Amino acid sequence: MTDRVVLITGASAGIGAALARELAGRGASLALAARRASALQAVAAACGPQALAVTADVTSRDDVRRMVQETIARFGRVDTLVNNVGQGITRAPSELTDEDIDRMMLLNVKTALYAIQELLPSFKERGSGHVINVSSMLGRMPFATYRSAYCGAKHFLNALTATLRDEVKQTHPGIQFSIVSPGVVYTEFGLNAVHGGVDSRTIPDGQTPEQVAAVIADVVDSRRPDVYTRAGARERVAAYYAAIGEDP
């Protein structure tokens, strides 16, 4: 992977930081973006001289444009974009406010869309590129009532990924769009949810950020379009929808 330039958003902690370390170990050049400058700089330092830290708020189109420009100025191109920014919510669907829904769409969908739209012209000019959108099992099965708007946002992200893939391949078949769907990951995701929440690190049967990062790193190489981070997840999704059709 020594000839690969990978741009990762949400890289200051959790899955993003673990992915940065994993890819650095495989020899990739990295552009790492996040809002928290000191934490981001620490991750970049641990990844070595081929890591560029770009302090940016990816909810801002202007910041995203600058992030892309600084990355291309340093490395000359981007080969793979990993959209890893996201946030959960703890609120029943009947209690959702306009602000709740807007926040979920901004953090989980628009951040990815902004980065894709800023990078796509460069990808098209080169005739190659790869976007990996980090989704969730809740983007496949909306079984967590209290995560209602987050489920909806991740479903939207999946649909956006699939439709972009179909659109772009008509004229630029060398550009790929991938979805990666983790389940519970042992990070501060739950604690950072809008309206608070359970610490994800206390939920049984989860994965470490490093385990998820290893799967995403493999997708950087394989360019597979639809990947789950643990065995049996695809069958679990099929069983979920099969059960919906059963008699009560």
Q: Which of 150, 186, 240, 241 is catalytic?
A: 150
- Find all residues with CB under 8 Å of 30, minimum gap 6, and list them: 5, 6, 7, 8, 20, 23, 24, 44, 47, 50, 51, 52
Residue with tokens 């949400």: 10
Q: Which domain holds residue 118?
A: 5-244
Measure CA of the first residue to CA of the last residue in the chain; give whole Å. Answer: 51
Nearest alpha-carbon partner for 20 in 36, 35, 5, 37? 5
186 classed as catalytic: no
Which tens digits make up the pLDDT trace of 24-65? 999 999 999 999 999 999 999 999 999 999 999 999 999 999
The CB density around residue 204, as the number of other CB atoms within 10 Å, is 5
Convert the chain into a string of H (helix), E (strand) and C (coil).
CCCCEEEEECCCCHHHHHHHHHHHHCCCEEEEEECCHHHHHHHHHHHCCCEEEEECCCCCHHHHHHHHHHHHHHHCCCCEEEECCCCCECECHHHCCHHHHHHHHHHHHHHHHHHHHHHHHHHHHHCCEEEEEECCHHHCCCCCCCEHHHHHHHHHHHHHHHHHHHHHHCCCCCEEEEEEECCCECCCCCCCCECCCCCHHHCCCCECHHHHHHHHHHHHHHCCCEEECCCCHHHHHHHHHHHHCCCC
Q: What single-letter amino acid sits at 165?
A: R
Number of domains, the chain: 1
pLDDT in tens, 73-127: 999 999 999 999 999 999 999 999 999 999 999 999 999 999 999 999 999 999 9
CATH (domain of 12)? 3.40.50.720
What digits encode the pLDDT tens for the residues 108-123? 999 999 999 999 999 9
> Amino acid identity, residue 137?
M
Instruction: Supply the pTM of this predicted model.
Output: 0.96
Q: For residue 182, what pLDDT band results from cuts at 50, 70 and 90?
A: very high
> Look-up: residue for tokens 């790193």?
217
How many CA atoms does the CB half-sphere of 85 hold within 13 Å? 29
